[in-house]
Structure 1
Amino acid sequence: MDAELNVKEDEFYPLRRRFRGFLPVVVDVETGGFNPRTDGLLQIAAVMVRMNAQQELYLHRTLSYQVQPFEGANLDPKALEFNGIKPWHPFRFAVPEQEAIETIFKAIRTEIKLNECNRAILVGHNAGFDLSFVHAAAERIGVKRNPFHMFSILDTVSLGALAFGQTVLAKSVQAAGIPWDNKEAHSATYDAQKTAELFCHIINRWQQLNAVAPGAEMAS
């Protein structure tokens, strides 16, 4: 599924200097457990962010997929109870892992080029978890051009703790004044978009408070 949010193409400025050549991509995964090598990837969502003339970040585009568990994947009943996913439900319309990962990676590579960046950096809430599943899936399907940095991340747990004294996603989002619906939580699409809103809010607020002097140079 591909959705667009707050698209402002006339205000688009490359992100090449904002994060030292990294393109932030907000990712959330829902899984059948905690082990990225043995437990199934069941949902993945990636939110692309862009920057306007004022060096403010905004949500641009969301890609999300229901994913078929890879052959032999472990599916922990406790994990499925928590996220509410029924892996074999006929109306889940899940796609193979390879299709989901390759489509998202292709879109990210396009954004890297458009933003004149070197590679992507994964943004997430407890981002190390999401990155581990992305890398494991990429390895399983034999991806040769993984756009994400192998280990560097931007984590909204730390950003939320800094900005609001909160580490739980729902509490950080609400502290930022962003609407939160518990009924929608624990789906990759919803959590990725709320994480992206939180990330943009904190980065933009920091910029406002500090009146970043190199801003004009960043947009050049």
Structure 2
Amino acid sequence: MHFQYNNLQERFRKFFPVVIDIETAGFNKKINALLEIAVITLKMDKNGWIKKSKTIHYHITPFSGSLIEIKSLLFNKIDPFNPLRQAVSEHEALTFIFDIINQEMQSNKCKKSILVAHNPQFDYSFIKEAIKRCNIKNNPFHQFVTFDTATLSGFAVGETVLSKACKIMGLCFDNKKAHSALYDAIQTANLFCKLINLWKKLGKWPIKKNKFINK
């Protein structure tokens, strides 16, 4: 007999997974600007399959006194001062994003959100720094636990590069669209869902009652 895990709260010990990708104006979380953020919440259907839910995307205005590295802009092709970006402040973006995450988290009866990203230490370090600058109190994310799709795909298919892992898993990936926070977040969410659902498809989840692996 199997335990039935058809609620998202039961899959990750009441953690609510949220996929995030950011683009920045450099690699220093304290002085380089956060320029773009994309967030995708997840849901579980009645059969226990993980799927994408809501998508939120913001262009961010560089914070006052921030340093803009030209090399980074050449890489991500962002013009921080282009009015067509319709950028908003860090505070406005994060406040709205966190409100949505908290609503989704509560509706799924989860106690804490967990950040999912490809090499999440980079993304989360910039987000934490922005939270400090904006004096935001309702950070929904666990302070140190994250889910890393680079690690998960390395374990599952032996590949840690996002584009290559997606292709191995049968997902489309357009390198010309990469390094956009929205595109990379969508692909990361697709990869995460595919990996988690693969584990279920292989019969490794739900865990069989009173059965342990001894190898």
- Scaled by the length of structure 1, the TM-score of the pair is 0.89
- Amino acid of the residue matched to residue 104 of structure 1? I
Q: C-alpha separation between the residues in 1 aligned to 2:24 and 2:206?
A: 42
The offset of 1:38, in angstroms, is 1.1
The alignment partner of 2:8 has SS state of coil
**Which of the residues 28, 31, 55 maps onto 1:62?**
55
Equivalent residue in structure 1 for 2:122, among 129, 138, 143? 129
Residue-by-residue CA offset, 1:29-66 (whole Å, 9 max, x unaligned): 00011111111000000000100112110011110000
What is the one-letter code of the residue matched to 2:45? N
Change in Cα spacing, 1:97 to 1:154, as seen in structure 2 (3 Å) is same
* CA distance in structure 2 between the partners assigned to 1:161 and 1:15 by the alignment: 24
* Alpha-carbon shift at residue 172 of structure 1 (Å): 0.5
Q: Deviations over 1:91-134 (max 9, x none)?
A: 11111111111010000000110010011100000111111111
Other-structure match for 1:202: 195
Amino acid at match of 1:65: Y
Unaligned runs of 5+ in 2: 1-5, 209-215
5 Å-filtered alignment, 1:17-166, equals: 17-166=10-159
Correspondence 1:180-195 to 2 at 5 A: 180-195=173-188
Residue identity matched to 2:120: A
State the TM-score, normalizing by the size of structure 2. 0.91
Contact 1:14 1:114 in 2 (8 A): no
- Which 4+ runs in 1 deviate beyond 4 A? none
Aligned residues: 203
Matches of 1:198 and 1:213 in 2, distance apart? 20
* Alpha-carbon distance in structure 1 between the residues aligned to 2:110 and 2:83: 40
Question: In the alignment, residue 207 of structure 1 is paired with which amino acid?
Answer: K
Aligned counterpart, 1:8: none
SS at match of 2:32: coil
Segments of structure 1 that go 5 or more residues without pairing to the other structure are: 1-12, 216-220
Structure 1 vs Structure 2 CA RMSD = 1.2
Report Cα offsets for 1:3-39 as digits up to 9, x if no partner: xxxxxxxxxx641111011100000000011111111
Q: Following TM superposition, by how much is the alpha carbon of 1:211 offset from its aligned partner in structure 2, in angstroms?
A: 4.5
Distance, in Å, in 1 between the alignment partners of 2:195 and 2:206 is 18
Structure 2 counterpart SS, 1:121: strand
